[in-house]
Structures are given as C-alpha cells and as structure tokens.
Homo-oligomer: A and B are copies of this chain.
C-alpha cells in the first residue's frame, strides 16, 4: 500500500429521504424523493461553518476524496476541497449534492415511480434550478444548517448559487458564483437544443423509454445521440486557443488517409470523450439538465430587471469569470456584478486570465485557488 493510498480521504455518500412531497415549478409533484450527498470536514457545534457546493451540468455529489482505497479518480473538485485547500475542510464543513433528475442516486429518471412501480424514464417531470434549490434547502434543514456560511458553484452550479441568494436571502452568508450567467443566451439555448435533438432523434431513444428495450445481454440506449450531445457540449467548454494548443491540426496516423475515419487528433479525442460519457450518464437526465439551464432566468419574474430581482438578497457576493470562456463569457458575470452594484449589494468581481475556456472553473489555477482561499479566509465564521 503506497503512502498515497494511506493518505486517501475515503468518502461514503449519504442519502437524505424526504418526509414530504416536493412541488415542482412545472406543476408536477414528487410524492417522495431522495438526495444523495457527500460531506467533507466537520460541522461545528454552532453549525455555522457549512459550505454548500452546487454541481454543474453533469457533475454529481462526489466532489472530493475517493470512493474506495482502490479508487484512482478523486471527486470532480478535489483540487479545491480538502484539508488546507481553498475550501479548507480543517475549517469548513463542505456538502455536495446530486440534484433531482440526475442519474447518480438522487431521485431521477432511473428511479421507480411509486405510482406505476416502473422507472420514471421519460415520464420524469422537468426540474428547474428553483426546484433544486428548494430540495437542497430541505437537505439543509435536515442537516440542521440554518444558514450556509457559503454557497459555491460554477456554471449551472453558479446559477444555483444565484437562485439560493434570491430564494433564501437570509440563508446564504456568502454567494460565490463562478463562470455562470443570470440566463442563457440564444446561442447557449441553440447548442442545448442541438444536443437534445441529437439524443431524441437517435433511433434507440424510443421516446425516452429506451430501457424497456434492453435485454439481459444488451443495454439499449441512445448512445450515438448522447455521444454527439457530449461532443457538442465539449467543444463549447474548451477555448479555441486551448484546442489549438492541445490538438492543432495533428493527424492521428501522421498522414492524410482521405477517408471518413478519424483523421485528426481532435476528432479522436472528442469521439472518445463522448463515448466514455455516454456509457456513464443517462440520456433522460442529460435532457433534463439542459432544460434546467435553458429555463433559468430569475429576472423574468421581475419584468426582466435583474437589479430588481436581486434587490432583496442579503448575501455577500463573489463573482468569478475566466477570460477565454465563450460559453459564459466575462460579460455574463459582469451583468450579475453590475446588477448587484446597482442594487447596492456587497459584491467582488474577478476576471481570471485563463486559456482553458469554460472548463477553467474545474481546473487548478494559481490565481483561481488563491482568490477562493483569500475570500474564504477573510470571511469570519461567527
């Protein structure tokens, strides 16, 4: 056993079972539901050192540490959460959750619908960021956390942070919103729609009920469509610069073959990443997540006035963007910052120089880590 594995933080996920139904924004109602979550560090006696990390599109509750001694792939934000790290678990109690509609243990399309005793599959109702924040608040109540010291998230996770500050103004001391936007642009929606069309027009989609067509030996699911959807997403997560640096026009075999096989390295990379993803994510969940993105638009309830929408928030805000992010470019973060300033809120804004595109919010970067650490170190846990 290596020193490394001796030092591995092994994390076991927990499950919160709701005692009451959840009324969703779409009008549907989940009569019961469960949330899978993980925690890192210890909740102090005053229960005021808790940080909620909200997951992005396809991320789940496993944000830090390892699932077992043999596990070699740590959680998706492991560089940021842990002892002595930016979200220092010597000081903070960090919680991360798999959202409703997901496919990693929380109630979603893979769950059994208690009314039919069959999988929800395509019948799972459309969920929104508002619904997620409501369900996360139920988890907070269960954990006896009256107020989060901070709620933190990137991309779709950042949208949840913003919604927390709106839905529960007195329950979020610090709102850290990274590489996010107050709403999607037409271009964002267009890419999501193309991804959904790729899944839904796959001949193995069967109106979302693909699992019914699986046999004991063959899993039926819209693999091509889900792979394509991920490939589309992936291109928008990377900057043009990062792709050029990493792949350029490099050929897989060193020469042109004049065929439709994979010629360029970038083609092989995207196909491989798409393939791996498709084998590990549920297509119905992917559809739901993209819809939650599209629908997020808190200002729409305030006559499209974001300043008005944020007027009753009470959090301190820290907004972070990345220079080469073209999915949610700095301008989108600035919109949030400007609205908060106009509403006379306490807000800090930082644009970090990075060539990693939207993916930068997941990647270790000295300025990024230092900024998160400095912000949190300067917050006082009463």
A-to-B contact residues, CB < 8 Å: 25-27, 125-126, 183-187, 189-191, 193-194, 196-198, 200-203, 224-225, 227-228, 231-232, 235, 238, 240, 243-244, 246-249, 256, 258-260, 262-264, 266-267, 270-271, 287, 291, 294-295, 297, 300, 326
Contact = CB atoms under 8 A, between A and B. Distances in A.
10 contacts: A125-B258, A184-B249, A185-B240, A186-B243, A191-B235, A194-B235, A196-B260, A197-B227, A197-B231, A249-B300
A30 to B, nearest CB: 14
B203 A203 contact: yes
A184 to B, nearest CB: 7
B193 A266 contact: yes
Given A26-B258, A200-B260, A258-B126, A243 B295 contact: no
B270 A190 contact: yes
B232 A260 contact: no
Contacts of A184: 249
A330 to B, nearest CB: 13
A267 B126 contact: no
A243 B197 contact: no
Contacts of A27: 258
Contact of A194 (B183, B190, B231, B248): B231
A326 B183 CA distance: 22
B264 A197 contact: no
Contacts of A26: 258
Contacts of A258: 25-27, 125-126, 295
